[in-house]
Amino acid sequence: MLKINNPIKILNLPMVFKDKTFIEVFHKIHQAGGEVALVGGVVRNILLNEKFLSENFSFDLATNLKPEKLINIFGKNIKYLDEGLKHGTVIINNNSHIFEVTSLRKDSSPSGRYSSVMFHNSWKMDASRRDLTINAIYLDLGGNIFDPFEGIKDLMTGRVEFIGKMADRLKEDYLRLLRYIRFYSKYSKFEINEKKITIIKKYAKKIKILSKERIIDEQRKIFSEDLEISLRSAEIMRETNLDIECYGEKFEFSKIRELKKILTKVSWIKKISILFQKSNNRNLLKKLPVSLKEREIFYNLQNHFTEKEIDALLSQKWQQHAYYLGEDVGLKLLLSAPFSSIIKKRFEDIIKYKKPKLPVDGRDLLNCGLKQGQKIGEALVRIEKKWVKSNFILSRNELLKEIGNYN
């Protein structure tokens, strides 16, 4: 338990607090003479009664034990990178839950990009190095809350405030420019004031001193939020020039605003692609650390359908054309054509459409006597065309009969 005076108490804790494998991590640290508490996102989720458990979810913990002690306690269940270890962070995976555990620390000589750290035993000092009041709320296993900067009050009233002076916090780590926008867009119930806009704009160029990996990781978080929240963040990035500093070009909002009422779950990279619909820069992502799949998704949405393809998708035989037009056909249609009730209706048809699977494959052709090689591929293409032209009605047996024509 945290050794603090007059803690706030949460009585209705989530079920995970009764999970033996969850409790075990806390108990091992307690048995080694340490104190430990949850901090960050999971505490906010609990206070707001929001769901927080999902695939690959990790719990952020703070402890007064040093990393070397944690390594001795948890042995094979612990992982760390040398860079993370220098900053006091290790990962504990007990096969049921993942915990990111960071020792209480104080930044020493922060440069806006890197900072060495000093470990200590003061929870108040650890809280004072954090960026926002709502990120400095600690919760222990017994439901005791340590909230030295009234983060709960800010969270409940919809205020997103820095601990201390905003400029000082930003200069410690310029990633906080983007982090502030993300938290503001998600939690604030107020319009961002001009003073904060001016400060963000003043330091926007400093984002370039950070590694591209850190910037893109934060962009993933920003644009993985609900569309309305992501759009709020994007608008602040545009107002403060952070879009240009991160990507080299301005966001353009006309298409995403036009479509926001009908788009539901859209991945972060698709939102970015929609925001750059008017860009002619084919190298926009060239130097950014995104996956090959993300790169393909981005440029696929930039490559609009031709008028002929749009007409085909609006025809009665649209399923046959959709079959050949690749991924994200519905979204590409919205981006390729002027918005109308007809386009909206066809988009709704397409997102319900499941691409059918050709009921025969190369093994069937081999079993029917075709020799392995070019003939197999050619025959499959011809059979597939016939099947699609039938509007996917021809059965497996009917298609197998066709194979005899290719011997």
Q: Which domains does the chain have, with CATH numbers?
A: 1-157 (3.30.460.10), 174-302 (1.10.3090.10), 304-352 (no CATH), 362-406 (no CATH)
Contact 249/242 with Cβ under 8 angstroms? no
Other C-beta atoms within 10 Å of 107: how many? 15
Q: How confident is the model at residue 226 (pLDDT cuts 50, 70, 90)?
A: very high
pLDDT digits (tens, 9 = 90+) for 86-106: 789 999 998 888 999 999 998
Which of 92, 87, 29, 86 has its CA nearest to residue 63? 29
Q: State which of 49-58, 339-348, 392-401 shows the largest mean pLDDT.
A: 339-348
The pLDDT value given to residue 264: 80
Instruction: For residue 138, list its beta bridge partners.
Output: 39, 146
Percent of the chain with pLDDT over 70: 95
User: Is pLDDT above 90 for 11?
Assistant: no
The pLDDT value given to residue 131: 95
User: Is pLDDT above 90 for 184?
Assistant: yes
Q: Which tokens sit at 139? A: 């919760």
The pLDDT value given to residue 404: 67
User: What is the rounded average pLDDT of the residues 191-218?
Assistant: 96
The pLDDT value given to residue 395: 93
The rounded distance, in Å, linking the Cα atoms of 130 and 120 is 15
pLDDT digits (tens, 9 = 90+) for 27-48: 999 999 999 999 999 999 999 9
Q: How confident is the model at residue 292 (pLDDT cuts 50, 70, 90)?
A: very high
The rounded distance, in Å, linking the Cα atoms of 199 and 174 is 12
Contact 127/114 with Cβ under 8 angstroms? no
More confident position, 70 or 115? 70
User: Is pLDDT above 90 for 286?
Assistant: no
- Helix (H/G/I), strand (E/B), else coil: 370: coil
Environment class of residue 185 by beta-carbon count within 10 Å: exposed (0-12), middle (13-18) or buried (19+)?
A: buried
Q: How far is CA 72 from CA 29, 66, 75, in A?
A: 11, 10, 6
pTM of this structure: 0.89
User: Is pLDDT above 90 for 109?
Assistant: no
Range in 151-160, 277-286, 319-328, 336-345 with the lowest mean pLDDT: 277-286
User: What is the rounded average pLDDT of the residues 102-121?
Assistant: 83
Q: How confident is the model at residue 312 (pLDDT cuts 50, 70, 90)?
A: very high
Give me the phi and psi of 60, to 5 degrees please: -85, 125
The pLDDT value given to residue 299: 93
User: Is pLDDT above 90 for 79?
Assistant: no
The rounded distance, in Å, linking the Cα atoms of 394 and 384 is 10
